[in-house]
Amino acid sequence: MPAPIDATKYLAAPCTVLTPEQLVPFEVNPTGEPVTSGSTFEAAGPSCSWEPLDRKGDFNLLFPDKNKYGLSDYYRERKRWAYFEPIEVGGYPAAHFDVGKQDRRGLGFCGIVVGLTDTLAFSIIRQGGPGPQACDQVRDMAAAALTTMKGA
């Protein structure tokens, strides 16, 4: 596994994981909607959502800090999802997945989870995107987030 990434500062400010410049290719409003407290936070963890300029769907980046074993927790749960396909992003272990019961990639739904440490991962989910390109978009967005978190 590559060097662990300390993402602690992004847990308090998840929208800072992606710069306005990094968000340009995704054609989203660069001002994200952070969730760092409240019932949604309690259920999932710190997150940020960005709305596309065409208002079709959204992107949601999440640090599921309730997971104790990062990416390993996703592997344990993989049978309950429509698909779970291991890949790498920027040299880090990752997987495309869909939390639904059906494979909705053709409808613009795709998720990716990336392992940062043995105890922390982050995910990005694209909902209502441009058909099969949604998986390419979340992979590219995850790569940009890794660049930020590594300080490159």
> Higher model confidence: residue 77 or residue 152?
77
Tokens of residue 109, six digits: 């739904």
Least Cα distance to 8 among 112, 113, 151, 143 occurs for: 151
Q: Is the pLDDT of residue 68 over 60?
A: yes
Q: Is the pLDDT of residue 47 over 60?
A: yes
pLDDT category at 60 given cuts 50, 70, 90 is very high
Q: Is the pLDDT of residue 40 over 60?
A: no
Contact at 8 Å (CB) between 87 and 108? no
How far apart (Å, rounded) are the C-alpha atoms in residues 45 and 32? 16
pTM for this prediction:
0.92
**61: exposed, middle or buried (Cβ count in 10 Å: 0-12, 13-18, 19+):** buried
Contact at 8 Å (CB) between 96 and 87? yes
pLDDT category at 39 given cuts 50, 70, 90 is low
**CATH of the domain spanning 8-150, picked from 3.30.960, 3.40.1000, 3.40.50, 3.30.420:** 3.40.1000
Describe the strand order of the beta sheet including 83-89 as a list of residue ranges: 33-35, 47-50, 58-62, 121-127, 110-115, 92-98, 83-89
Tokens of residue 75, six digits: 């592997």
pLDDT digits (tens, 9 = 90+) for 11-22: 999 999 999 999
pLDDT digits (tens, 9 = 90+) for 70-114: 899 889 988 888 999 999 999 999 999 987 788 999 888 999 999
Domain segments of the chain as ranges: 8-150
pLDDT category at 124 given cuts 50, 70, 90 is very high
How far apart (Å, rounded) are the C-alpha atoms in residues 83 and 112? 11
